[in-house]
Structure 1
Amino acid sequence: MSVLIVHESMFGNTHEVAEAIAGGLRRGRAPDDGVRVVRVDEAPAELGADVQLLLVGGPTHALGMTRPNTRADAVKQGGEPSREGVREWIEQLTPRADLPVVTFDTRVHVRLLPGSAAGAAAKALRHRGFDRAERGETFWVEGTPGPVAPGELERAQQWGVELAARVSHGVS
């Protein structure tokens, strides 16, 4: 199984979640297992045929995926600058209709606040031609800079284990 996890992270929270998911995917596998975690700035615009599952994650900003202005606001709050976000990457990504894609996001838990980067990314991916794109999980952070909420990294790792089982059984 070759899995590519592409993520956007300005405060490190989404990166931590991506690594935890990768840890779950790798559980019980060889060290050269084919699970790669890549920042969106370094992600390929064309996915190799070896990629059997694509995971795409990012922080929820202003009810959806980040935009240049929300990333600029994050930098003002101490976040790391990013050349592009998941939104821009999806726009230049070469589609693969048959590839299973699952999205995830991080967000601050605010009661009754709608919107999700994972939902917006799944929709954008389907629009781009990834017919098997689906919204996955939301992982909670405590405030904009974080940290990741207690128990969420363990939940992310368990989700990775579940995703690995789905792929190995051909149910993705």
Structure 2
Amino acid sequence: MSGTARALVVYESMFGNTQRIAAAIGEGLRPAFETEVLAVGQTPRTLPGDVRLLVVGGPTHAFGMSRPSTRDQAAAQGPMVMPATTGVREWLEMLGPRRTETVAATFDTRVNKVRRLPGSAARAAARRLRHQEYEVIAAPASFYVGDMTGPLDEGEVDRARKWGEQLVIAQGSRPAGATHHHRRGH
């Protein structure tokens, strides 16, 4: 698959729900991209130059991206699938400004009982990526779980796979050179 555009799906998952969504998004991307799905703790601090699409996701905690304190609170809810040390928030801070032609999209998981509550890890991550000069090519997506520890609502894995397929279309429909804008003063 050399020469194929690469996609990187970076996720934070406490109880495995966001991990399942990330894997499904990766499946949706694979027909068009050489795709790697990585837990945030396994992700490089700088993006490889051949990554053209970065997809970032995590659980919504306290109306946004998780923090050490909210991860500690989650750890008290049940067995965790990931260490609670590094989350998407910290990884994005380490990532710094965009230096490649990479575009981005964001997603989160959230409890279905609070669909109307404000705040979203996906929206917060999209804001952070825009601030770091990434072009965000799709509206942030939310996928729903029955309770903090899960399970995922019925149909959410299929919906995540389809969202990955839609990202392929969104990325492919961008005009050539669309990411060449840079802000002055950096």
Structure 1 residue matching 2:92: 3-state secondary structure: helix
Q: Report the CA distance between 1:101 and its aligned residue.
A: 0.8
Change (3 A) 1:79 1:95: farther
* 1:164 aligned partner: 168
Rounded to whole Å, the distance in 2 between the matches of 1:20 and 1:14 is: 10
- Taking a change above 3 Å as real, the CA distance of residues 93 and 155 of structure 1, as seen in their structure-2 partners, is same
- Correspondence for 1:88 among 66, 76, 90: 90
Work out which of the residue numbers 86, 102, 105 in structure 1 matches 2:105: 102
Moved over 6 A (4+): none
Question: Once the two structures are superposed, what CA deviation does each residue of 1:29-52 show, in whole Å capped at 9, x if it has no partner?
Answer: 6xxx51000000111110011000
C-alpha distance in structure 2 between counterparts of 1:106 and 1:130, whole Å: 24
Gaps in structure 1 of 5+ consecutive residues: none
Give the letter for the 1:96 counterpart.
R
Q: Which residue of 2 aligns with 1:61?
A: 61
Structure 1 contact 10–82 (Cα < 8 Å) conserved: yes
Contact 1:8 / 1:40 at 8 angstroms: preserved in 2?
A: yes
Q: TM-score, normalised by structure 1?
A: 0.90
The Cα of 1:79 is off from its aligned counterpart by: 4.1
Structure 2 residue ranges without an equivalent (≥5): 179-186
TM-score after normalising by structure 2: 0.83
Question: Alpha carbon RMSD of aligned pairs, Å?
Answer: 1.8
Show the counterpart of 1:143: 147
1:42 aligns with 2:31: no
Do the aligned partners of residues 169 and 111 (structure 1) sit closer, same or farther apart at CA in structure 2, a change above 3 Å counting?
closer
User: What does residue 10 of structure 1 align with?
Assistant: 14
CA contact (8 A) 1:99 1:130 kept: no
Q: Which has the larger radius of gyration?
A: 2
Q: Letter of the aligned partner of 1:93 in structure 2?
A: L
Secondary structure at the aligned position of 1:88 is classed as helix
The structural deviation recorded for 1:111 is: 4.5
